[in-house]
Every structure is written in C-alpha cells, then in structure tokens.
C-alpha cells in the first residue's frame, strides 16, 4: 500500500511540476509573441510612414512636371496658332498669285 501512496504522491508532484512549468512556458511564449508582434508593428509603421513620405515627394515631383509641361504646351499652342494664321495668309496669297498668273498667261496668249 505504501507504494500506491508513493505512486500517487509522485503523480501529483509530477502533475503540479508540469502545470507550473507549462504556465511559465506559456507565459514566456506569450511574452515573446507580444514582443514579436510589437516589433513587427513598429517595423510596419516605420515602413508605411516612409512610404507615405515617398508618395508625397513623388506627388510633388509629378505636379512640378505637369506644371512644366502645361507651360510648354501653352507655348506650343501659341506657336501653332501663329503658324496656322501664317499658313492661311500664304494660301490666300497663293490663290491671288494663281489668278494673277492665269491673267498673265491669258495676256501672253492674246499677244499682249
């Protein structure tokens, strides 16, 4: 009978020791999880903040480029308008010269 008491005492002692060790292990595992999650969150936040700053810089650069090209495009529009006006004037002059040329050819044919 003593051996049953010894066996029960050993089993209870083993169970208590296992339970305490398990709680300590779980506590340190949970603590490690918490630390890891905190580190990951901090790293993620730093990356998001850095990316946000980069996006702001890129938006600013895009606006600068757009403004430059808008100025260039507006300048080209003025040049195109001038060239179109000049082209129209040259067409009118060409038509006048064609008429004048036809008149001169007619005069030559008539012996004048």
Q: Where are the domains of the chain?
A: 1-110
The Cα 69–Cα 67 span in angstroms is 5
The Cα 97–Cα 106 span in angstroms is 14
pLDDT over threshold 80, residue 19: no
Q: Give residue 33's pLDDT.
A: 83
Element (H or E) spanning 47, and its range?
helix 2-109
pLDDT over threshold 60, residue 92: yes
Q: Give residue 25's pLDDT.
A: 63
The Cα 112–Cα 106 span in angstroms is 9
Model-wide pTM > 0.85? no
Q: Give residue 90's pLDDT.
A: 96
């Amino acid at each position: 009978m003593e051996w049953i008491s010894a066996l029960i005492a050993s089993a209870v002692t083993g169970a208590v020791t296992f339970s305490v060790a398990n709680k300590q292990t779980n506590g340190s595992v949970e603590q490690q999880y918490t630390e890891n999650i905190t580190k990951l969150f901090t790293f993620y936040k730093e990356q998001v903040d850095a990316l946000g700053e980069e996006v702001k810089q890129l938006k600013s650069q895009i606006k600068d480029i757009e403004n430059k090209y808008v100025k260039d495009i507006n300048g080209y529009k003025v040049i195109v308008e001038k060239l179109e006006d000049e082209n129209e004037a040259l067409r009118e002059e060409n038509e006048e010269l064609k008429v004048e040329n036809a008149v001169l050819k007619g005069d030559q044919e008539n012996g004048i």
